[in-house]
Structure 1
Amino acid sequence: MKPGLREIWDGQLLIGDGAMGTYLYQMGFPVGISYEELNLIHPEVVGDVHRRYIDAGANLIETNTFSANFDKLSKYGLESKVEQINRAGVKIAREAAGNNGYVVGAIGSIRGGRRANISNKELKGYFEQQISALLTEDVDGILLETFYDVEELLIALRRVRKLSDLPVICQFAVEDVTTLDGYTMPEAFSIITEEGADVIGFNCRTGPSGIMRAMDTLQGHLQVPMSVFPNAGIADYVDGQYRYAATPEYFAQSAVKFAELGARILGGCCGTTPEHIAAIAGALKDYIPMPLPQPVITSQRDRIAVAERDEEDEGGGAFTGKPSIVDLVKERHTVIVELDPPRDLDITKFMDGAKALQEAGADALTLADNSLAVTRMSNMALGHLVQSQLGLRPLIHIACRDRNLIGTQSHMMGFDALGIDHVLAVTGDPARFGDLPGSSSVYDLTSFEIIRMIKQLNDGIAFSGKPLKQKAKFVVGAAFNPNVKHLDKAVQRLEKKIASGADYIMTQPVYDPELIAAIKEATAHLNIPIFIGIMPLASGRNAEYLHNEVPGIQLSDEVRQRMAGLEGAEGRQMGINIAKELLDVAMDNFNGIYLMTPFMFYDMSVQLIKYVWEKSEHRAPHLFQSK
């Protein structure tokens, strides 16, 4: 009978396996599928990968269940197969490992460093479901890997300890000497040890060098054995393939250093292959580990402070100390005007239009983010010019379509540096319907998630969960389409955006006075301001195009009849007349007015801005001076 894991790692080394996901990718399985589903549909492939690592010298095998939880599997419609996939994963690994090998049930982080995207209550349920499934089969222990923060790892570890006394290996994914929720590594190790972890270590995120730096901070603080599963360096994307630079020879050299620092389990993560594991096993074949040092208890927490931004230094913003759009609309009618960035490099007409709108009394100029997936000039660049040259507040749209998590946070950090603090979070029209149909739609985030993540920056926390040195001050808007059959359901979706952190609402254009009144009634219970969208029609053809071809816009039969056959100046004048009638109703029900400029006819918006101020009991902001 083989000894238990706790007996093994107290005095000798275990060789872990290498990557599963990236190895399957190298074998030809594409990104975008569930590799865990292969436990059910191609068990022979998963078993073959396990056997290759065993043949290379591994005696501890991870089940192919890293993302086999309800949340991750639901993205592939596999949420009903959590138990099947996990149990199959254990059976495949056990068959491959035989009687002498050890099998640990692999459980990965669900949040993946995104602290705001899932509640603790949900985490508890998802972890418990997966752990229970793994425990129904013959595992020698549980491996909790690729966790970025102490909080989520504690939740998972406590679920294991609630259900079992099997050995538990806990692994952080770090690129620095702290976790993403601000714990030093000695603190994190101490906390996890006190909660019952048998082995604590590192995997993923970085190669041997980065993990070595993290281990250096633990000298004198080891209370339990360590595990180390580095990546094969940093991935490079060459000729449509991901490639990793770290060679097996380099891994062999690093393995001895890891063992000298207290590692008892050594394997590999992303990019590693059976050749890397063979190199580790060869380098440590005759290695006799030194006894672990006496533990030094370090339980005091030293959180990274988030500096409050100095009230007198707002990062160069032009509107320091001035009321936000949300503040203004609570006091008076407030006008936001949309002007599309140009599709060319010439910004002359755009800047002329922005100046005319500013002089007419617009409170903010809003710029879309490549609306209808048509390529236009960067709204960040134009927003900065509008703010710096005209003194007009920019309100910038942020689409989920074009940027992944990295690009979105980088974009938001750029806005903060420029002092642009008003944004509108939108999903964005699919790229395949725009002027570059071969481009990709990213959609790393939903509209709900992007609102939460932007507001997370206001708490001084990066998208990854890592503390920032100062807090942002974004005022975040959400889009609302009331042109639907069931307005109540649209409002329910709107409520979710508000729950995610939206500060104000901007609607799609409305062309029915009765619908404006209905919106007022349906949203009366909401506690954030709504800006009613009004877009003057430019012609009869424009009216038919919007009604029949543009998602989220619906014209009444009466409006279409009035616009029918009208073109040129006659069509634009009728469009203005209809817009004024809509403004009459909108201003009676809402303080927030959102005017959309068609085809750069900014003189139409100028007329409507002036109409708002004529009707409003308040005058335009730049006319408030006493005479």
Structure 2
Amino acid sequence: MQLALADGGIETDLIFHHDQTLPEFSAFVLLDDDAGRAALRRYYVPYLQLASEAALPLVLETPTWRASEDWLRLLGRPAQDVIRVNTDAVRFVDEVRREIAPDADVTVSGCVGPRADGDPGPGAMTPDEARDYHGPQIDALAAAGVGRVAALTISYVAEAIGIVLAGRDAGVPTVLSFTVETTGELPDGTALGEGIRQVDVATAQAADSFMVNCAHPDHITRALSTGGDWTRRISGVRANASTRSHAEMDQAVDLDEGDPSAFAEALLGLRAQLPSMHVLGGCCGTDVRHIAAIARAAGA
């Protein structure tokens, strides 16, 4: 299966390298004015240029990880803005794609994020609640014409099930990406393989595939130590540059970018344990340098 690149850690890149303020880590707020759109464009263009030069497919996530109802309300916006914001984001990314790399193999992926960060504890939703909560955003992304929906940094099974069911309802290919802690387990202690198994059982394998994101390759390796057929359901990884835990990153005042070449080698090293992995990208601390290093290390 041909390697495909994904973009990097959009929020950390915008904050630390583009001098942008993102309230509640919300990149979609930059769509509000010309200056913000220019910053987003500066983020996306190098990835499109890299994919064209390397002749590799590219998966570009929309800046909508926080563009669901609760986060909109937290930012003082009406819940009905879900449709407008997500539609605008898809159109923006597609416009940049058509301008910069009209002939490249680019998938505009509608990015969905968790309702709450980390382990929600007593606030965890049931699958039906998650389906109802995420449904409006996924419907908006699907109607705007994304090639797929990707739910990134999901931390527990019930929310994952609801997202996959909402994607099925909307008739859009849905990729579910769990995050893991330094132990290789989901934040609530569930083993990654068990989480994937539970989602597949509850949804009759409705997810197009699974991914892992917001974890360093070393942490993901721990999650894969048990092996099993479930590893074949993982199509990609968007890894952190840093080996820090989520708690450590939340408290950090600096950006741990790691070494792009070492990052790329570690990420490509996961292929031995993930036979279906072909989409490789970054998460926190990564930028186009890390993705270019992946392309180089893969011989592109």
CA distance, structure 2, for counterparts of residue 215 and residue 24 of structure 1: 31
Q: How does 1:221-620 map to 2 (within 5 A)?
A: 221-234=230-243, 241-262=253-274, 263-285=277-299
Query: Contact (CA 8 Å) 1:255, 1:284: kept in 2 or not?
Result: no
Residue 148 of structure 1 corresponds to: 155
Residue 54 of structure 2 corresponds to: none
Q: Shift of the alpha carbon at 1:285?
A: 3.4
Q: Shift of the alpha carbon at 1:87?
A: 0.8
Q: Shift of the alpha carbon at 1:105?
A: 0.4
CA distance, structure 2, for counterparts of residue 220 and residue 86 of structure 1: 35
| Correspondence 1:86 to 2:55 | no
CA distance, structure 2, for counterparts of residue 125 and residue 91 of structure 1: 25
Q: Shift of the alpha carbon at 1:182?
A: 4.5
* Change in CA separation of 1:220 and 1:161 when aligned onto 2, cut-off 3 Å: closer
Q: Shift of the alpha carbon at 1:189?
A: 1.9
Query: Contact (CA 8 Å) 1:207, 1:233: kept in 2 or not?
Result: yes
| Cα displacement string for residues 501-526 of structure 1 (whole angstroms, at most 9, x for unaligned residues) | xxxxxxxxxxxxxxxxxxxxxxxxxx
Query: Contact (CA 8 Å) 1:177, 1:217: kept in 2 or not?
Result: no
CA distance, structure 2, for counterparts of residue 50 and residue 217 of structure 1: 37
Q: 2:167 aligns with which of 156, 160, 165?
A: 160
| Cα displacement string for residues 107-146 of structure 1 (whole angstroms, at most 9, x for unaligned residues) | 0111222132364465333301101111111211010110
Query: Contact (CA 8 Å) 2:184, 2:223: kept in 1 or not?
Result: yes
Q: Shift of the alpha carbon at 1:261?
A: 2.4
* Change in CA separation of 1:259 and 1:94 when aligned onto 2, cut-off 3 Å: farther
CA distance, structure 1, for counterparts of residue 47 and residue 238 of structure 2: 14
Residue 21 of structure 2 corresponds to: 30
Give 3-state SS (helix, strand or coil) of 2:168's partner: helix
| Cα displacement string for residues 469-500 of structure 1 (whole angstroms, at most 9, x for unaligned residues) | xxxxxxxxxxxxxxxxxxxxxxxxxxxxxxxx
TM-score by length of 1: 0.41
Query: Contact (CA 8 Å) 2:236, 2:279: kept in 1 or not?
Result: yes
Residue 515 of structure 1 corresponds to: none
Aligned length: 272
* Change in CA separation of 1:221 and 1:82 when aligned onto 2, cut-off 3 Å: closer
Query: Contact (CA 8 Å) 2:125, 2:158: kept in 1 or not?
Result: no
Query: Contact (CA 8 Å) 2:179, 2:212: kept in 1 or not?
Result: yes
- The amino acid across from 2:2 in the alignment is Q
Q: 1:54 aligns with which of 48, 64, 82?
A: 48
* Change in CA separation of 1:185 and 1:225 when aligned onto 2, cut-off 3 Å: closer
Query: Contact (CA 8 Å) 1:200, 1:226: kept in 2 or not?
Result: yes
* Change in CA separation of 1:119 and 1:202 when aligned onto 2, cut-off 3 Å: closer
| Cα displacement string for residues 35-58 of structure 1 (whole angstroms, at most 9, x for unaligned residues) | 212123222321221112222337
Q: 2:31 aligns with which of 19, 27, 39?
A: 39
CA distance, structure 2, for counterparts of residue 225 and residue 244 of structure 1: 26
Q: Shift of the alpha carbon at 1:86?
A: 0.6
Give 3-state SS (helix, strand or coil) of 1:285's partner: coil
Q: Which has the larger radius of gyration?
A: 1
CA distance, structure 2, for counterparts of residue 85 and residue 180 of structure 1: 29
Q: Shift of the alpha carbon at 1:21?
A: 0.6
Query: Contact (CA 8 Å) 2:256, 2:285: kept in 1 or not?
Result: yes
| Correspondence 1:115 to 2:121 | yes
Identity %: 26
| Correspondence 1:199 to 2:209 | yes
Give 3-state SS (helix, strand or coil) of 2:111's partner: strand
- The amino acid across from 1:149 in the alignment is Y
Query: Contact (CA 8 Å) 1:86, 1:134: kept in 2 or not?
Result: yes
Query: Contact (CA 8 Å) 2:129, 2:162: kept in 1 or not?
Result: no
Query: Contact (CA 8 Å) 1:145, 1:203: kept in 2 or not?
Result: yes
| Correspondence 1:18 to 2:8 | yes
Q: Shift of the alpha carbon at 1:212?
A: 1.8
CA distance, structure 1, for counterparts of residue 22 and residue 29 of structure 2: 13
Query: Contact (CA 8 Å) 1:234, 1:245: kept in 2 or not?
Result: no
- Unaligned regions of 5+ residues in structure 2, if any? 52-56
Question: If each structure's helix is expressed as a fraction of its own residues, which one has the higher value?
Answer: 2
Q: Which has the higher contact order (CA 8 A, sep 6+)?
A: 2
Query: Contact (CA 8 Å) 1:208, 1:233: kept in 2 or not?
Result: no
Q: Higher mean Cα deviation, 17-26 or 217-226?
A: 217-226
CA distance, structure 1, for counterparts of residue 109 and residue 136 of structure 2: 17
Give 3-state SS (helix, strand or coil) of 2:230's partner: coil
* Change in CA separation of 1:180 and 1:141 when aligned onto 2, cut-off 3 Å: same
CA distance, structure 2, for counterparts of residue 246 and residue 199 of structure 1: 28
Q: Shift of the alpha carbon at 1:177?
A: 3.6
| Correspondence 1:216 to 2:225 | yes
CA distance, structure 2, for counterparts of residue 37 and residue 31 of structure 1: 7
Q: Shift of the alpha carbon at 1:163?
A: 1.5
CA distance, structure 2, for counterparts of residue 108 and residue 123 of structure 1: 12
TM-score by length of 2: 0.83
- Unaligned regions of 5+ residues in structure 1, if any? 1-10, 287-627
CA distance, structure 2, for counterparts of residue 115 and residue 52 of structure 1: 39
* Change in CA separation of 1:124 and 1:48 when aligned onto 2, cut-off 3 Å: same
CA distance, structure 2, for counterparts of residue 163 and residue 220 of structure 1: 28
